[in-house]
Amino acid sequence: MIVKSLKLILISTPIGFLGSGRGGGVELTLTSIVKGFLDMGHRVTLVAPKGSILPFDCERAELITVGGIDQPSWQHQDSHASMVIPLEGVLPKLLNVALELSKEADAILNLAYDWLPLWITPLVETKIFHLISMGGVSKVMQNEVNNLSNTHHSRLAFHTYSQASDYELKDDPIILGNGFDLKNYQFKLDNKGPLGWAGRVAPEKGLEDAVQVAAALEDTLVVWGFLEDKEYASKIEASVPSGTIEWRGYLDTEVFQNQLGACRAFINTPKWNEAYGNVVMEAMACGVPVVAYDRGGPSEIVKSGITGWLTTPDDIDELTQSISKIDQINRINCRDWAVETASYQAFCKRIFSWISREINI
């Protein structure tokens, strides 16, 4: 039972409109936060790039869209790149709208992984909280997160300890995990289907390794996700026999989970320190065991030998061998683990507890 109805302003990712798939896991996280806070009786306003949409079960939230040029993702820049805001960039416009709305709100929760919202936090009266969505891919971002930790540590939260370890924080990190509407993911017992992989099709996601595993097993790899780098995808496809990859594209959750649940195993091959690994938990919510590199967030959410197998990062032979052991995993354990650790209701309670401590409600 809540003490007070919270009025929360959410800032969306500035690298693409919600529903485009460009925002990656942040899009799903935002939906879970909106739904969870509405269910708890709070009031939510989401400020997002023009073109954004919310699922029908989030319609009670106020959605304000803002036009502007997408912000370049830090993921695709050199680690020592400087901060750049495009002319007519959407990022400062999102922040301006959120700050204006915050005059009649309790707090802002920012999910934009960028320098400006972090930098401005100590300079305004509004209490801005930041759920950091990536590891330390940029020196500029690492420096700004570290700076804010020194002055306003309680305003920062992370998905996993692995992600938080990329930063030099003043104190122990606030870890929130993530959350999903698990009724949208149907458990499937059948373990005879294809191999699966999902994510933005971009080099840091390591799709080429999963494709090599499928080729070695003379199997098909079903691939879901936003095709961000077409040249990269073409090179991968040319490196293996025709038919090894079955491209499915970016799908909404209902269609995606139905197809995902038919897989006998899900492969996760990030080349960087993944903050959490939404698709890993989505697979387990469908009962699909996960074979993943022991790197980043997935190393904390896959229970090796129980919900799948963790393997040495970048070791394709070990990854391939682990697929052969997938029948040792009870698919019910995968679903149970998702229910135990990653419901959107529990996730939002953790967020509310974090914010409410700071604003004294």
Q: Is residue 350 part of a domain?
A: yes
Beta strands in the chain (DSSP E): 7-11, 43-49, 62-66, 107-110, 128-131, 156-157, 195-198, 221-224, 245-249, 265-268, 290-293, 308-311
pLDDT at 76: 79
Residue 1 lies in a domain: no
Q: Are residues 235 and 152 part of one domain?
A: no
**348 located within any domain:** yes
- Does residue 29 fall inside a structural domain? yes
155 and 248, same domain (yes or no): no
CB-CB contact of 130 with 268 (8 Å): no
pLDDT at residue 14, as a whole number: 97
pLDDT of residue 3: 55
Is 2 a domain residue?
no
Dihedral pair phi/psi, residue 243, rounded to 5°: 90, -5
Is residue 135 in some structural domain? yes
Domain count across the chain:
2
3-state secondary structure of 156: strand
Give the pLDDT confidence score for residue 159 in this predicted structure: 98
Same domain? For 166 and 23 the reply is yes
Q: Can you give the pTM of this predicted structure?
A: 0.91
Say yes or no: 187 and 334 in one domain: yes
Domain CATH for 161:
3.40.50.2000
For residues 148 and 12, state if they share a domain. yes
Q: Dihedral, CA atoms, 317, 320, 326, 331, nearest 10 degrees? A: 110
The predicted pLDDT at position 360 comes to 79
- Contact (CB, 8 A) for 86 and 71: yes
222 and 138: one domain? Answer: no
Q: Which helix (H) or strand (E) holds 338?
A: helix 331-341
d(CA 115, CA 124): 15
Do residues 192 and 135 share a domain? no
Based on the domain organization, do 272 and 334 belong to the same domain?
yes
Token pair recorded at residue 153 = 């540590």
Residues 349 and 330 in one domain: no
What is the extent of the structural domain holding 325? 183-341
Q: What is the predicted pLDDT for the residue at 191?
A: 82
Which pLDDT score is estimated for 4?
77
Q: Both 196 and 320 in a single domain? A: yes
Given a contact cutoff of 8 angstroms between Cβ atoms, the answer to whether 272 and 135 are in contact is yes
Write phi, then psi, for 282 (nearest 5 degrees): -60, -40
List per-block mean pLDDT (blocks of 10 residues) for the chain, which spans 361 residues. Answer: 79 94 89 96 97 91 97 88 95 98 96 97 97 94 98 98 97 98 93 93 94 96 94 96 95 92 96 92 97 96 97 97 96 97 97 93 69
337/348 same-domain check:
no
Question: Quick check: helix, strand or coil at residue 260?
Answer: helix
CB-based contacts of 231, cutoff 8 Å, min separation 6: none
Whether 306 and 348 share a structural domain: no
Tell me whether residue 198 is in a domain: yes
Query: What CA–CA distance (Å, rounded) separates 279 from 288?
Result: 11
Q: Is 248 a domain residue?
A: yes
Residue type, 59: E
